[in-house]
Chain A
Amino acid sequence: MRRSIFILLHTAAIFAITLSLLSGFRIATLTKPYLLTIAALLPSGQVHNLHLLSASLLLSLSVYYLYFRMSIGRVTSQSRYHRVVTWLGHVSLTICLISGLLNYFDLTPEHIVSLHYYSAVAIVAYLLLHSWVYIMQFGCKAFKKILLMSSKHVPYKLLAALSLCTGVLFFFINSLTHTLNITPISTQVLMEIDGLANEPQWQNAHTFIIDTANGANFANGHTQVQIKALSNQHETFFLFRWADPTKSLQHLPLTKTSQGWKVKENGFYLFDEQSYYEDKFAVMLSNSCDIGADGTSHLGKKPFADKPANWHGKGYHASLDGKVRDLWHWKAVRTNDMVLADDNYIGPLAEPLSGQRRYKAGYQTDGKESGAYVMNWQWYSPSSITPKRLPTHSGNDDKPVLPWFGSQPYHQSKDIYPIGTHLSSVLYRSNRFEGDRADVRAKGHWHDGFWTLELVRQNQTQSKYDVALNNDTCIWVSAFDSSQIAHTRHQRAIKLRYSL
C-alpha cells in the first residue's frame, strides 16, 4: 500500500508540476520577453486559473507528502546522487510554493519579486537532474517503476481526499479579496479634482496600500499604490498615489532627421512601446472578483482560434462570460489636460476589422459624442512620417501636447526645423471628450517622484459599458511607467466597502 500511495503522489506531482511550470512560464512571458522564444510550447488563454489550480494540487500533495514521510518514512532507496538531487527538488519546490503564495496574497517584498520565477527555473533544473538521469539509467523501466500499479491497489480514498482538498483550496484562495473602506462625506463637501489632494477629507480617509509588480521601467518592476476613497450619495472619489521617479510626458515624440520626421519609439510598431510613452494609470472594475483580472486575461499570441493574433505575443483582455468590466485609463499627456480618464471597458470579443492592423479583442473605448486627441502624423510608418501641424513659434515645440492655437497646418515650405528638433505627437483637435467616454473626471499631479491622481465618477452612470460602484464592486489597479501595455499588476481584487 505504501508503494501505491507513493506512485499516486508521484504521478500527481508530475502532473501538477508540469502544469504549474507551463502556465507559470506563460505568465512570465509578460515580463520576460526571452521566454517568448518557447511560447509555442506553453498553454495560452486563461492560464491564471490553470496556474492556481495546479498550485492548489501541488500544495495539497506537499502537505500530504510531508505527513506521509513523517509517518511512514522513505519508500524508495536512492543513490547518494539522487538523494542530493531530491533534496534540491524539495528545497526548490518549497521556495516556489511559499513565494507563489506570497505573490498571490500581494505580500512579496519588492526585492524578491523574482524569487518565484527563479525557484521555478530551479525546479526545471531539478527535473533534468532527476527525471532525465533516471531515464538515462533505466530507460522505459523507470516509467514502469513510477507509473504502474494494479487497479485494486489504487488508493481511491486518498485520491478523492486530494481532489477535494485541491478543489476547496482553489475556490477558497480564489475567493480572497482585499478590502478598501470608503469614507462617507456629505454632498455639500466640495472636492476639486486637481491632483493635489489638499482637501481635509483626504486626511481623514482610510488608506489602503497595495504592492503592484511586473511593470516595465519601475525599479524591479514594482511600485506601491496608496488608495483612498470618499463617497457621497451620488459619487465616489478616489485618490491614488504611486512612486514613479520619472515623470514621463514624452509620448511617441517626433524627431527631425536627415531623412525627415520620424517617430521615436522602442516597440510601438508591435504595440508594446516601452521607452517613449506617457505615464498612465488604470483601474478595472467588476462585480465579480476572480483571479486573472477577473478572468479577462487571455495570454498568448493567439488565444482565440477564430480571432487575429496580437503583435507582441503577450495576450488580450476580453470578457467571455457576457459581463462587461469597466476600465478607467488615465493618461498623463492625452487625457490629463482634459481632466479626464479615458472611460473604456473590457467586453466580449470584438469583430475584427479588415482595415485595422491592431486587433484589441475585448478592450474597447466607450462611445463619445465629440472631442478627441489626435496623433500629429498623417500616416504612421516606422521609417518616416509627415506631421499634421507644426508650431508657429519655438516655445511650442517641446510641449507634451502641441496646442492648436500656436501651431499651423504642415507645409513643406514651413518645415525649416533643424535636424534633431523634437515635436509633440499629440494634438487636441477639438474639445475634451463628451458623452459616455467622459464619465470619469481625473487629474494627476507629479511631485518629488510620486504621481497623485484624483478621480471621481458617479456611482451609477446608466451606461451599459460602465460598472456601478457599490459593495459588490471589485477593483484592480495598474501603473504604467513610460509604457504602452507593460503595466504593473496585483493578484487579489480589492473589494469596495461603503458605509453609507
Chain B
Amino acid sequence: MIKRFLISVLIVAVAGVYVIFSDTIIEPIAHPRYTKITAQGKALSPWQGPWACVLDHQHNLLWEVKTDDESIHDGYWTYSWYDHGLGKANFGDCYFEDARCDTQDLIRHTNQQALCGQNNWRLPTEYELASLIQPPKRPGQPYIAYDYFAHIKKGDYWTSKAKVKLQQQFAHLKQGAKAVNFHSGEVVSLPYRNAAFVILVSDITGTYSHTQLSSRDTSTTQ
C-alpha cells in the first residue's frame, strides 16, 4: 500500500514538474535584413522601441523612419522635388517650415538634427528605394516591411533620380524625377512640382561607430 502511495505521489510530482517547466517562452525573431535603431544610434531588438532609423544590412544603409508625432519626420508631410536650383521649391505640405516644403528642406533639417548620429542624409537612388518593395503581409498595407517602416503611406516616394523625361499627361512639363509608389510597388516618373512623400537614406560611413549599432540595448521595452 505504501509503495503504491509513493508511486502515485511520484506521478503527481512528475506532472507538476512538467507543468512548471513546460511554459512557452515568447521571444522575437530577428529580421534577416533590418534592425531598429534609436534616434541616438543604438540598436534595438525587434520588439523594442521607439526607433528612428532602420539599419539595412543588405545595402549597408540607414533609412529614416517616418512617425505620426508631427515632428519633421511625420509620415503625412509631402514635398516637391528640389535640389539646389533644380526642380520645384516649396510645393509640398508640412508644418515645420514657414513656407511650404521641398525635399531639400527635409534633408537640411534631418542633417542638422543628426538623426541616428548621421549627418549625410539624402534622397535614395531608384535602386535603393525600389529594393524596399515587398508585397504587403496584411490587407491594405503598403508594399514595404510595415513592421519596420511604420507610417509609410500608400503613395509616391521621391528618389534622387532627376532629369527624367516625362510621358503622357505630364509630357508638357518635359522633365521630372523618379518615385517609388508603395501602393502598387512600382517605379513612376513624376513632375518636380508633385507633392510626394519622402523617406531619406544615409550611407554608413567609415567613421560611423558600428559598435553602437551592434550593441543590443535591452533597456527600452514595449
Contact = CB atoms under 8 A, between A and B. Distances in A.
Given A302-B24, A381-B221, A409-B69, A354 B140 contact: no
Given A132-B8, A311-B26, A357 B140 contact: no
Contacts of B69: 378, 388, 409-410
B15 to A, nearest CB: 7
B193 interface: no
A139 interface: yes
Given A135-B8, A311-B26, A357-B222, A367 B50 contact: no
A135 B8 CA distance: 9
Given A40-B18, A353-B137, A354-B147, A301 B24 contact: yes
Contacts, number: 92
Contacts of B1: 136
Given A366-B140, A465-B139, A354 B30 contact: yes
A354 B35 CA distance: 10
Range of interface residues on B (Cβ < 8 Å): 35 or more
Interface residues of A, number: 43
A433 B6 CA distance: 64
A41 B8 contact: no
A212 to B, nearest CB: 29
Interface in A475-500: none
A215 B15 CA distance: 31
Nearest to A38: B19
Contacts of B19: 37-41
B26 A355 contact: no
A355 B47 contact: yes
A39 B68 CA distance: 40
A429 B46 CA distance: 26
Give the most central of B23, B31, B139: most A CB within 10 Å. B139
A199 to B, nearest CB: 33
A116 interface: no
Contact of B68 (A355, A383, A388, A436): A388
Q: Is the interface of B mostly helix, strand, loop or mixed?
A: loop
B102 to A, nearest CB: 22
Nearest to A437: B140
A112 interface: no
Contacts of B26: 308-309, 311
B220 interface: yes
Contacts of A351: 137
B139 A374 contact: no
Interface string A385-420: 000100000000000000000000110000000000
A154 interface: no
Contacts of A132: 8
Contacts of A436: 139-140
Interface in B109-138: 137-138
A135 B4 contact: yes
Contacts of B138: 350, 364-365, 367
Contact residues of A: prevailing secondary structure: loop
A139 B138 CA distance: 58
A356 interface: yes
Contacts of A378: 50, 67, 69
B8 A354 contact: no
A356 B147 CA distance: 6
Contacts of A364: 138-139
B12 to A, nearest CB: 10
B4 A139 contact: yes
A429 B76 CA distance: 10
Interface in B139-153: 139-141, 145-148
A8 B34 CA distance: 61
A379 interface: yes
Contacts of A38: 19
A308 B47 CA distance: 14
Interface string A356-384: 11000000111111000010001111110
Given A355-B36, A355-B47, A381-B220, A429 B68 contact: yes
A413 to B, nearest CB: 15
A260 interface: no
B47 A357 contact: yes
B61 to A, nearest CB: 18
Q: Name, among B5, B19, B67, B138, the residue most crowded by chain A CB atoms within 10 Å (CB to CB).
A: B138
Contacts of B18: 40-41
A136 B23 contact: no
A409 to B, nearest CB: 4
Interface string B1-27: 100110010000001001100111010
Contacts of B145: 353, 355
Given A37-B19, A367-B139, A355 B31 contact: yes
Q: Which residue, B5, B141, B148, B221, has most C-beta atoms of chain A within 10 A?
A: B221
B97 interface: no
A428 B137 CA distance: 25
A354 B141 contact: no
A374 B70 contact: no
Given A40-B18, A354-B30, A356-B147, A379 B68 contact: no
A267 interface: no
B29 A354 contact: yes
A368 B22 contact: no
Given A37-B19, A38-B19, A381-B221, A309 B24 contact: yes
B222 A381 contact: yes
A41 B15 contact: yes
A352 B139 CA distance: 14
A457 B207 CA distance: 59
Contact of B148 (A355, A357, A383): A355
Contact of B70 (A350, A357, A381, A409): A409
Given A40-B18, A355-B36, A355-B46, A379 B141 contact: no
12 contacts: A41-B15, A41-B18, A132-B8, A136-B5, A350-B137, A354-B30, A365-B138, A366-B139, A381-B220, A381-B222, A388-B68, A388-B69
Given A136-B5, A436-B140, 17 more contacts: A136-B1, A308-B26, A352-B29, A355-B34, A355-B145, A355-B147, A357-B28, A364-B139, A365-B140, A367-B138, A367-B139, A367-B141, A368-B140, A374-B68, A378-B67, A383-B221, A388-B69
Interface of B: 1, 4-5, 8, 15, 18-19, 22-24, 26, 28-31, 34, 36, 46-47, 49-50, 67-70, 137-141, 145-148, 154, 220-222
Lowest 5 CB-CB distances: which A-B pairs, in order?
A367-B140, A355-B147, A367-B139, A379-B50, A354-B31
